[in-house]
Amino acid sequence: MMQFNPGAVLAPAVDWLNANFHGFFAQVTLVIEALLGAIEAALMTLPPFAVIAIVVIAAFAAAGLRLAILAACCLGFCWLTELWQASMQTIALMLVAVIVAVAVAVPLGILAARRPAIEATLRPILDVMQTVPPWVYLIPAVMIFSLGRVPAIIATIVYGIPPMLRLTTLAFRGVPHDLRELGQAIGARPRTILWKIEFPAAKPTMLVGLNQCILLSLAMVVLAGLVGAGGLGAEVTRGLTRMEMGLGLRAGLAIVAVAILVDRLSRSALDRGRGPHKSA
């Protein structure tokens, strides 16, 4: 029987990476931990009441009473089930991951929209990335960064990039040709065209991409609870391993609550983005 062991071949490579680039990885770990720490601190120093109140008011201002009530219910549920800290951890993880993913995906997406060659190269990669199950991203991340929050964030960022990228490309490709020509005809600078013409036209589709990115990131962050990322995912795992059904169920429902809230919030941004056309 043949012996085929790519793992044995690659494992030393990973070790080598770990040894030689340790400094770099350590830096990355530091930066991420710092960012996370800052957001978590912001979310957790304030007492739950305060955070809920802020979110409710923001939701009301942004999208009206229904959303505000929803926010109150969802966050209230997290608090009521004694999972506030875990919820905040999960949300913090998700926020950081989304911000970085968007920062990477949007420029790449715009580039792909403008250069068909790049899009053609990216497409098979994105296809594979979206077919492979999410936790596959956790494995290399854990290998390099060990268990904890950092691999969770990295895996989540990588997982959240494809939908955002694809939809950005779609959005920018879909900007009507005559709008771009208008920009050129009036002698606008490329940067002006980008910000004043292309972005507004691309906004609705990009918001869909953002909504997708957020939901997928949340799912991934929760999954990463299996590998020590803390948050609600860890609570579910704890319930699982300790056979504490109540805890597991509570954590699961809290995840649903956060997911619904986050989904509706980003969708309301979508509807507002479509504002003027909506009443037609």
Partner 1 sequence: MESFVTAFDTTVDDALFWLSDHAAFVFDGIRALLEGLYDGILWLLMLPPFWVVAVISGLIGWRVLGTGFGVVGALGLIACAAMGLWPETMSTLALVVAATAIALAVGLPLGVLAGLIPRLDGALTPALDLIQTLPPYIYLLPAIALMGYGPATALIATVIVAMPPAIRLTSLGIRQTRTEFLELGDAVGASRAQMFFKIRLPFAVPSIMAGINQSLMMAFGMVVIAGIVGSGGLGETIYSAIRTLDIATSINASIAIVVLTMLLDRMTQAAARTK
x/- site string to partner 1, residues 204 to 223, per CB under 8 A? ---------------x--xx
| Residue 18: closest CA among 141, 181, 120 | 141
**Please, which residue, 9 or 117, has the CB nearer to partner 1?**
9
x/- site string to partner 1, residues 53 to 92, per CB under 8 A? --------------------------xxxx----------
Q: In this chain, which of 149, 166, 250, 264 binds partner 1, going by CB under 8 A?
A: 250
Q: At residue 155, what is the residue type?
A: A
Q: At residue 251, what is the residue type?
A: A
Q: In this chain, which of 1, 19, 117, 186 binds partner 1, going by CB under 8 A?
A: 1
164 binds partner 1 (CB under 8 A): no
125 binds partner 1 (CB under 8 A): no
8 binds partner 1 (CB under 8 A): yes
Instruction: Name the minimum Å distance from CB 178 to partner 1.
Output: 32
Contact 46, 84 (CB under 8 A): no
| Residue 144: closest CA among 32, 49, 250, 266 | 32
x/- site string to partner 1, residues 260 to 279, per CB under 8 A? x-------------------
Residue owning tokens 């009443």: 279
**Please, which residue, 120 or 256, has the CB nearer to partner 1?**
256
* Maximal C-alpha separation, the chain: 71
> How close are the terminal C-alpha atoms of the chain, in Å?
69
Angle between helices 138-145 and 149-173 (to 10 degrees): 140
Contact 106, 161 (CB under 8 A): no
Question: DSSP letters of 82-129?
Answer: T-HHHHHHHHHHHHHHHHHHHHHHHHHHHHHHH-HHHHHHHHHHHHHH
Q: At residue 254, what is the residue type?
A: A
Instruction: Name the minimum Å distance from CB 231 to partner 1.
Output: 11
Contact positions vs partner 1 (CB under 8 A) = 1-8, 10-11, 14-15, 79-82, 128, 131-136, 138-139, 142-143, 146, 219, 222-223, 226-227, 233, 236, 239-240, 243-253, 255-256, 259-260
